[in-house]
Amino acid sequence: MRSHFEVRLNMAQGLNEQTTSTIQQWESHLRELINAASRTSRVALVGVGHPLRGDDYVGSYVMKGIKARGGALSDSVYLFDAEDNVERVITRLSRIDTKQVVFIDACEMGARPAETKLLPVDETRYPFFTTHGIPLKVLAEQWLVGCKVWVLAIQPKETEFGEGLSPEVHDAADHVWKFIASSLAKEDRDIV
């Protein structure tokens, strides 16, 4: 069983310096996105994952970790836990006029388990439909026009049916949610 989608960088077009930097330094780039959020330039973070598909659950797990820290509604950074139904969140995203959307999701990248990369969604390719229905890239192209869409991709180890994350992905997910929560707190941003 595959994870949500397979990520492949478009090697035919080559990688520019900014993309390479983004892949190697997802933390600094994600912090920049969060820091740039304002009432006129909203950012949305969306956790994606099925709770009964092992590491596929990682995005939803990350969002639950952030939300467990508590806080009030922010008017510049929105947090959504889509679980395995991205389609129900995508219309809400289009209505709040976000400028940047970051989907946090398990992605097959051919990397070592738990490796994490921040990739522009337009640099991903889908060889098949995903477990959440329509691929994120297609949803972004149709519903999030004028918005820069990213995927914080975490390489899964196991995506077979079953509960719980593998130890490697669990550790990475804890690191990701703590990093995001601390980035929001450092900027005095409320956590939804």
153-168 per-position pLDDT tens digit? 999 998 888 889 999 9
Q: Does residue 96 lie within any of the structural domains?
A: yes
Q: Tell me if residue 2 falls in helix, strand or coil.
A: coil
Which bin fits 83, alpha (ψ -120 to 50), beta or left (φ > 0)?
Answer: left
Q: What is the pTM of this model?
A: 0.81
- pLDDT for 132: 53
**For residues 34-43, average pLDDT:** 90
Residues of the chain with pLDDT > 90, as a percent, come to 42
Q: Does residue 192 lie within any of the structural domains?
A: no
Q: Does residue 36 lie within any of the structural domains?
A: yes
Q: Does residue 106 lie within any of the structural domains?
A: yes
Q: Does residue 51 lie within any of the structural domains?
A: yes
- pLDDT for 126: 58
Q: Tell me the average pLDDT of the chain.
A: 79
Residue found by looking up tokens 């869409």 in the block: 149
- DSSP-assigned beta bridge partners for residue 108: 6
Q: How confident is the model at residue 40 (pLDDT cuts 50, 70, 90)?
A: confident
Q: Does residue 191 lie within any of the structural domains?
A: no
Q: Which residues contact 118 (CB under 8 A, 6 or more apart)?
A: 22, 23, 26, 29, 30, 102, 150, 151, 152, 153
Q: Does residue 170 lie within any of the structural domains?
A: yes
Q: What are the tens digits of pLDDT across the range 59-118?
A: 999 999 998 886 445 779 999 999 988 888 888 888 888 899 999 999 888 889 999 999
Cβ contact 89:78 at 8 Å: no
How many independent structural domains does the chain possess?
Answer: 1
Q: What are the tens digits of pLDDT across the range 139-149?
A: 787 788 889 99
CATH number, domain at 33?
3.40.50.1450
* Residue 86 structural domain: 5-186
- pLDDT for 73: 55
Q: How confident is the model at residue 186 (pLDDT cuts 50, 70, 90)?
A: low
Q: Does residue 139 lie within any of the structural domains?
A: yes
